[in-house]
């Protein structure tokens, strides 16, 4: 294991080998120029509120075509600089995001980068930013420190050269206040959970825009690798009660009327009900994966893929709770 100068997270031997391999490349001039041309994020910023821009990812799963550009990140111009919400899936993405910010908001320093949670599409671009400015709740920092390397390993397998040079960098600032002033703007901070064990929600108190991270999805199936469905359901009610003008979900378009929260609640309720019934009926995981998905969810991006992944994530715990082990005394 080594610890790099840029990383608070130890780098595993397997990924060090991967980094060396990717750094070496094939060495061929043709491949080199092809990669430089092809592996380029064409990021664009959409102004969703005054001086507030979203960079909207595709409603897809990670693949070699999208390079991992499946996530929403955002940035806000405040009086003295720029605040960034989430950094994307890789160093390559983070670098492209920095360039886009500099082009959109010229000559203003980046003052803060928030990480909403520890999933790889939301923090693996941290390396492109000054680590001393990156902030998250302590639990998110702990989760990144514990799981960052494994996430990065998996992303290298899924995305290959798109991930070149990416290292997991944990935030250095642990948040615990209800709000903070950044560059002359107040941001309210809400410490929630359910999608993961720690989900940070940020509200720009000037515009009323709420950045929900992956507590809310819109027109894209929710992901559940670290979900606690019962907690998530309660958290969505809390999120619904937060005063806001607009919500930017972690995935999907910005939402002025609460659709993302309602759609996410509807989906996770259905998912929990369907899988509980399947367990009670004695279906195997493979059989549960074949079950129908209601027509109202057919328009959600990658719904079949995410449903099948959710069976893997949620089935064992449901089996344990619905069929508890019985101790037989002899
Ligand atoms: Zn995400």
What dihedral do alpha carbons 131, 137, 139, 144 form, nearest 10°? -30
119 CA distance to ligand 1 middle (Å): 6
69 CA distance to ligand 1 middle (Å): 10
The mean per-residue pLDDT over the stretch 290-294 comes to: 98
For residue 329, tell me if it sits in a domain: no
What is the predicted pLDDT for the residue at 37? 52
For residue 127, tell me if it sits in a domain: yes
Residue 163, SS3?
helix
How far is residue 100's CA from residue 175's CA, in Å, rounded to a whole number? Answer: 27
Residue 252, SS3?
coil
330 CA distance to ligand 1 middle (Å): 50
61 CA distance to ligand 1 middle (Å): 10
How far is residue 77's CA from residue 52's CA, in Å, rounded to a whole number? Answer: 7
pLDDT digit string, tens, across residues 65-77: 899 999 999 999 9
For residue 328, tell me if it sits in a domain: no
Q: Is the pLDDT of residue 152 over 60?
A: yes
223 CA distance to ligand 1 middle (Å): 8
The mean per-residue pLDDT over the stretch 186-192 comes to: 98
For residue 299, tell me if it sits in a domain: no
214 CA distance to ligand 1 middle (Å): 5
What is the predicted pLDDT for the residue at 60? 86
324 CA distance to ligand 1 middle (Å): 33
The residue among 182, 190, 175 whose CA lies nearest residue 242 is: 190
The enclosing H or E element of 77 equals strand 73-78
31 CA distance to ligand 1 middle (Å): 31
- Work out the pLDDT band at 324, boundaries 50, 70, 90: confident
88 CA distance to ligand 1 middle (Å): 9
pLDDT digit string, tens, across residues 29-52: 444 444 555 788 989 999 999 999
Q: Which CATH number do you get for residue 156?
A: 3.60.15.10
73 CA distance to ligand 1 middle (Å): 10
27 CA distance to ligand 1 middle (Å): 34
114 CA distance to ligand 1 middle (Å): 14
Cβ neighbours of residue 6 closer than 8 Å, sequence gap 6 or more: 127, 131, 167, 169
The enclosing H or E element of 240 equals helix 229-241
Where does residue 131 rank: exposed (0-12), middle (13-18), buried (19+ CB within 10 A)? Answer: middle
- Work out the pLDDT band at 192, boundaries 50, 70, 90: very high
For residue 38, tell me if it sits in a domain: yes
What is the predicted pLDDT for the residue at 145? 97
56's tokens: 């909207």
281 CA distance to ligand 1 middle (Å): 32
For residue 91, tell me if it sits in a domain: yes
201 CA distance to ligand 1 middle (Å): 13
For residue 26, tell me if it sits in a domain: yes
How far is residue 283's CA from residue 304's CA, in Å, rounded to a whole number? Answer: 18
The mean per-residue pLDDT over the stretch 183-200 comes to: 98
131 CA distance to ligand 1 middle (Å): 21
Q: Is the pLDDT of residue 14 over 60?
A: no
Q: Is the pLDDT of residue 113 over 50?
A: yes
The residue among 255, 244, 124, 261 whose CA lies nearest residue 194 is: 261
CB 24 within 8 A of CB 122: no
What is the predicted pLDDT for the residue at 239? 98
For residue 175, tell me if it sits in a domain: yes
219 CA distance to ligand 1 middle (Å): 13
The mean per-residue pLDDT over the stretch 150-157 comes to: 94
Which regions of the chain does DSSP assign to beta strands (E)? 46-49, 52-55, 73-78, 81-85, 110-114, 134-137, 173-175, 179-182, 185-192, 199-204, 209-217, 246-251
Average per-residue pLDDT for the chain: 90
Q: Which domain holds residue 60?
A: 13-262
The mean per-residue pLDDT over the stretch 196-200 comes to: 98
Q: Between 229-241 and 259-280, two packed helices, what is the crossing angle to 10 degrees?
A: 160
The mean per-residue pLDDT over the stretch 3-10 comes to: 42
Q: Is the pLDDT of residue 1 over 90?
A: no
122 CA distance to ligand 1 middle (Å): 6
136 CA distance to ligand 1 middle (Å): 16
Percent of the chain with pLDDT over 70: 89
DSSP 141: H
Q: Which residues pair with 188 in a beta bridge?
A: 179, 203
What is the predicted pLDDT for the residue at 16? 46
Lowest mean pLDDT among 59-63, 71-75, 261-265: 59-63
Domain count, the chain: 1
């Amino acid at each position: 294991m080594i610890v790099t100068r840029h990383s608070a997270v130890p780098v595993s031997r397997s990924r060090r080998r991967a980094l060396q391999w990717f750094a070496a490349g094939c060495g061929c001039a043709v491949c080199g120029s092809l990669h430089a041309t092809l592996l380029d994020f064409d990021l664009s910023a959409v102004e969703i509120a005054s001086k507030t821009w979203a960079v909207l990812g595709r409603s897809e799963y990670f693949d070699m075509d999208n390079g991992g550009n499946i996530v929403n990140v955002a940035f806000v111009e405040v009086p003295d600089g720029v605040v960034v919400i989430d950094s994307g899936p890789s160093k390559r993405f983070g670098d492209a995001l920095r360039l886009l910010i500099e082009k959109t908001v010229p000559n203003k320093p980046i003052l803060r980068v928030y990480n909403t949670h520890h999933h790889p599409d939301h923090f693996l671009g941290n390396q492109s930013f000054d680590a001393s400015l990156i902030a998250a709740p302590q639990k998110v920092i702990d989760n990144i420190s514990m799981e960052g390397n494994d996430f990065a390993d998996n992303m290298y397998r899924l995305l290959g050269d798109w991930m070149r040079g990416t290292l997991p960098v944990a935030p250095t600032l642990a948040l615990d206040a209800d709000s903070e002033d950044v560059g002359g703007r107040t941001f309210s901070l809400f410490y929630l959970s359910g999608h993961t064990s720690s989900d940070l929600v940020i509200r720009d108190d000037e515009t009323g825009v709420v950045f929900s991270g992956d507590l809310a999805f819109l027109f894209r199936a929710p992901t559940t690798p670290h979900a606690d469905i019962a907690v998530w359901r309660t958290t969505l009610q809390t999120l619904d009660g937060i005063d806001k003008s607009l919500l930017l979900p972690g995935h999907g378009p910005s939402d002025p009327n609460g659709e993302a929260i309602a759609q996410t609640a509807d989906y996770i309720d259905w998912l929990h009900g369907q899988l509980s019934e399947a367990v009670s009926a004695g279906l195997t995981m493979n059989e549960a994966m074949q079950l129908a998905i209601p027509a109202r969810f057919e328009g959600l991006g990658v719904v079949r893929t995410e449903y099948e992944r959710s069976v893997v994530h949620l089935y064992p715990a449901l089996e344990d709770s619905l069929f508890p082990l019985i101790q037989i005394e002899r």
